[in-house]
């Protein structure tokens, strides 16, 4: 029996991610193909409020290649979502028009709140069954989403304009970053998330997106990324802070040689690690559970689930 297949492509500030999944008889989805490419659509957007032409071209090329792969894998329907960079840029329509012309599908811009809710839905399906309350942090290139929920229902969701690319471009210019640069970044972070309310009692914290999975991969020393080893892995608060400190003291050339750290993410991982450490410390968690999934999985269930 042929089962239906669907695909989602998540276009973020830093990465483009593909998921092709087959719907099982029980309504769950099994991944058939997952791919990731760092195109940095949002480079410079914090400063210029515009998408860079080369970043548009690189991202459209990735979206087109992923859309072709999804169709070749038998996906009957495809959804492309765009998040922080596309929301913030004055010329976002240039990217949407180019993607539609090249890939045959127009990206849908989702709000920060919707992004947070999709991340929560993904995390709940994987980690929420054993706990009544759940908190999710989704660290992107341009923004960070926080969402709390009781069982499958989100009760708080907010998007904060602090992401790994945005904060790197805003504050980290030295190699390695100077102490005063890191202090300025931490002050900016503290101010941005100051109004985040405390999580529900007894909540577990799940961390989503490339910053979290990369920190786990570095912690494990993975020469080749393996989602099966990363998904569900726990980092303690102390381990996250130690990683942030260690990475912040390394020059870029040294970070690029670290097992588990993709070369294209090496320049923004310091800011990403600082964001995760700040969220854990602000909310009072002792650990974070890494999720290898996220918005693309949440959209899959929302659009194509039972």
For residue 305, is it within any domain?
A: no
Domain count for the chain: 2
CB-based contact 141:165 (threshold 8 Å): yes
Residue 135: which CATH number?
3.30.420.150
Residue 129 reports pLDDT greater than 80: no
Same domain for 93 and 161?
no
The mean pLDDT of 58-79, rounded to a whole number, is 96
Domain boundary among 90, 109, 128: 109
Domain boundary among 50, 80, 109: 109
The mean pLDDT of 248-273, rounded to a whole number, is 96
Same domain for 167 and 243?
yes
The mean pLDDT of 279-291, rounded to a whole number, is 97
- For 97-125, write each residue's pLDDT tens digit: 999 999 999 999 988 888 888 989 999 98
For residue 156, is it within any domain?
A: yes
CB-based contact 266:257 (threshold 8 Å): no
CA–CA dist 92, 239 (Å, integer): 38
For residue 303, is it within any domain?
A: no
Same domain for 265 and 125?
yes
Given 3-state DSSP classes, what are the helix, strand and coil percentages for the chain, each rounded to the nearest 5? 45, 25, 30
Same domain for 35 and 58?
yes
The pLDDT of residue 87: 83
For residue 300, is it within any domain?
A: no
The pLDDT of residue 306: 59
For residue 299, is it within any domain?
A: no
Residue 130 reports pLDDT greater than 80: no
Same domain for 152 and 179?
yes
CA torsion 220-221-224-229 (nearest 10°) is: -10
Give, as one character, the DSSP assignment of residue 42: T
- For 136-166, write each residue's pLDDT tens digit: 999 998 889 999 999 888 999 988 989 999 9
How confident is residue 67, by pLDDT bands cut at 50, 70 and 90?
A: very high
CA neighbor of 23 nearest in space, from 38, 6, 11, 45: 6
CA–CA dist 275, 291 (Å, integer): 16
The pLDDT of residue 153: 85
The pLDDT of residue 227: 87
How confident is residue 2, by pLDDT bands cut at 50, 70 and 90?
A: confident
pTM: 0.89
CA–CA dist 114, 118 (Å, integer): 6
CB-based contact 96:80 (threshold 8 Å): no
Same domain for 46 and 125?
no
Residue 73: which CATH number?
3.30.420.40
Q: Between these two residues, 243 and 91, which has the higher pLDDT value?
A: 243
The mean pLDDT of 263-276, rounded to a whole number, is 96
For residue 191, is it within any domain?
A: yes
Task: Strand 5-11: give its sheet, edge to edge.
Answer: 29-38, 15-23, 5-11, 75-82, 108-109
- For 195-228, write each residue's pLDDT tens digit: 899 999 999 999 998 999 999 999 999 999 998 9
For residue 133, is it within any domain?
A: yes
Same domain for 144 and 209?
yes
CA neighbor of 111 nearest in space, from 165, 159, 48, 175: 159
CB-based contact 288:234 (threshold 8 Å): yes
Same domain for 119 and 28?
no
Residue 132 reports pLDDT greater than 90: no
CA–CA dist 119, 83 (Å, integer): 12
As given in the structure block, the two tokens for residue 124 are 């709940």
The pLDDT of residue 1: 59
* Strands in 161-296 per DSSP E: 204-208, 234-236, 287-291
Same domain for 61 and 91?
yes
- For 14-41, write each residue's pLDDT tens digit: 899 999 999 998 888 999 999 999 999 9
Same domain for 87 and 119?
no
For residue 296, is it within any domain?
A: no
Instruction: Give backbone dihedrals phi and psi of 137, rounded to 5 degrees, phi first.
Output: -120, 125
Residue 49 reports pLDDT greater than 80: yes
Same domain for 28 and 177?
no
Domain boundary among 62, 83, 109: 109
At 285, is the secondary structure helix, strand, or coil?
Answer: coil
HSE-CB for 207 with a 13 A CA cutoff: 30
Residue 286 reports pLDDT greater than 90: yes
Residue 89 reports pLDDT greater than 90: no
Q: Could you list the residue range(s) of the whole structural domain that residue 62 is in?
A: 5-109
Same domain for 287 and 249?
yes
Cis peptide before 137 (omega within 30 of 0): no
Q: How much is the mean pLDDT over the chain?
A: 93
Q: Between these two residues, 85 and 172, which has the higher pLDDT value?
A: 172
């Amino acid at each position: 029996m042929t089962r239906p297949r669907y695909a989602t492509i998540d276009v973020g500030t830093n990465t483009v991610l593909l998921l092709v999944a087959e719907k099982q008889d029980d309504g769950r989805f099994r991944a058939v193909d997952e791919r990731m490419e760092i195109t940095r659509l949002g480079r410079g957007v914090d400063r210029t409020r515009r998408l860079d032409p080369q970043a548009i071209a690189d991202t459209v090329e990735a979206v087109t290649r992923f859309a072709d792969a999804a169709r070749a894998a038998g996906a009957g329907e495809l959804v492309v979502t765009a998040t922080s960079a596309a929301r913030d840029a004055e010329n976002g329509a240039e990217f949407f028009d180019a993607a539609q012309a090249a890939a045959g599908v127009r990206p849908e811009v989702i709000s920060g709140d919707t992004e947070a809710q999709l991340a929560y839905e993904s995390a709940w399906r994987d980690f929420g069954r054993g706990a009544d309350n759940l908190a999710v942090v989704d660290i992107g290139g341009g923004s960070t989403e926080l969402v709390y929920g009781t069982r499958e229902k989100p009760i708080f969701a907010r998007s904060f304009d602090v992401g790994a690319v945005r904060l790197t471009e805003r504050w980290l210019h030295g190699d390695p970053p100077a102490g005063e640069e890191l202090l300025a970044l931490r002050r900016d972070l503290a101010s941005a998330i100051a109004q985040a309310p405390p999580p529900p009692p007894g909540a577990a914290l799940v961390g989503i997106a490339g910053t979290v999975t990369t920190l786990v991969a570095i912690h494990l020393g993975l020469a080749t990324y393996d989602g099966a080893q990363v998904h569900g892995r726990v980092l303690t608060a102390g381990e996250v802070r130690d990683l942030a400190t260690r990475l912040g003291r390394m020059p870029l050339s040294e970070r690029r040689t670290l097992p588990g750290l993709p070369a294209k993410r090496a320049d923004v991982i310091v800011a990403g690690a600082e964001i995760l450490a700040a969220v854990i410390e602000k909310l009072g968690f002792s650990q974070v559970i890494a999720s290898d999934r996220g918005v693309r999985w949440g959209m899959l269930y929302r659009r194509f689930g039972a």
